[in-house]
């Protein structure tokens, strides 16, 4: 038994690349046919595969999977990095839309929804509370400035 263990230790390990897509987002040739029976996809992979396949279809269409993966990869590469600052700015932009300061992206018309704006302002205030002492000076100053501006705009809109 010791000799088998020694062989295993000196043998090393083998890495198998089980990814279905190449770096360019193309389906690899070995995955264009049917799945090998010994390869059991993980739960996350199965869920993603089910989400990309048409409703009610047992076998996902491979070209459609490749196109969806490629489109997702391109959007992800083009998207800016998510930081605390970009997250808070996103929330404040939504609040400005609800305050009627910016046009609604769906209708291209300014629309006012003060309860929704108040909720977003409260969420940003909660983030300020929960992150107190954990932000750098720039992040803290940005958060305070955004909250001040949103609160002032809310009070102005609520008066009319």
pTM, to two decimals: 0.52
Q: Is the pLDDT of residue 64 over 50?
A: yes
pLDDT attached to residue 5: 63
pLDDT confidence of 43, banded at 50, 70, 90?
Answer: very low
pLDDT attached to residue 105: 85
List phi, psi (to 5°) of 95: -65, -40
* Cα 12–chain centre separation: 37
Mean pLDDT, range 9-30, rounded to an integer: 73
Q: Is the pLDDT of residue 96 over 90?
A: yes
Task: Classify each residue of 49-70 as buried b or exposed e, where b means 16 or more C-beta atoms within 10 Å of its C-beta.
Answer: eeebbeeeeeebeeeebbebbe
Q: Is the pLDDT of residue 80 over 50?
A: yes
Average pLDDT, the chain: 78
pLDDT digits (tens, 9 = 90+) for 120-149: 999 999 999 999 999 999 999 999 999 999
Mean pLDDT, range 87-100, rounded to an integer: 94
pLDDT attached to residue 34: 54
pLDDT attached to residue 138: 94
* Token pair listed for 55: 């409703």
pLDDT confidence of 151, banded at 50, 70, 90?
Answer: very high
pLDDT attached to residue 33: 64
DSSP 18-43: --SB-TTSPBPGGGSSPPPTT-PPPH
Rounded-to-integer distance, Cα 47 and Cα 52, Å = 9
pLDDT confidence of 1, banded at 50, 70, 90?
Answer: low
Rounded-to-integer distance, Cα 116 and Cα 20, Å = 43
pLDDT confidence of 40, banded at 50, 70, 90?
Answer: very low
Cα angle value 79/151/144 (rounded, 5°): 60
DSSP 67-117: HHHHHHHHHHHHSPPP-HHHHHHHHHHHHHHHHTSSB-TTTSSB---HHHH
């Amino acid at each position: 038994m010791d000799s088998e263990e020694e062989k295993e230790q000196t043998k090393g390990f083998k890495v198998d690349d089980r990814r279905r897509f190449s770096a360019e987002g193309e389906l690899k040739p070995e995955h264009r046919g049917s799945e090998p029976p010994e390869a059991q996809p993980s739960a996350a992979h199965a869920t993603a595969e089910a989400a990309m396949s048409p409703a009610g279809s047992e076998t996902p269409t491979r070209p459609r999977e490749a196109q969806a993966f490629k489109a997702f990869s391109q959007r992800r590469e083009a998207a800016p990095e998510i930081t605390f600052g970009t997250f808070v700015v996103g929330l404040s932009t939504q609040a400005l839309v609800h305050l009627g300061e910016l046009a609604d992206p769906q209708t291209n018309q300014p629309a006012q929804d003060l309860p929704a704006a108040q909720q977003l302002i409260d969420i940003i205030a909660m983030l300020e509370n929960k992150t107190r002492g954990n932000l750098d000076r720039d992040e803290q100053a940005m958060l305070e400035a955004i909250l001040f501006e949103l609160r002032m705009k809310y009070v102005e809109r609520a008066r009319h």
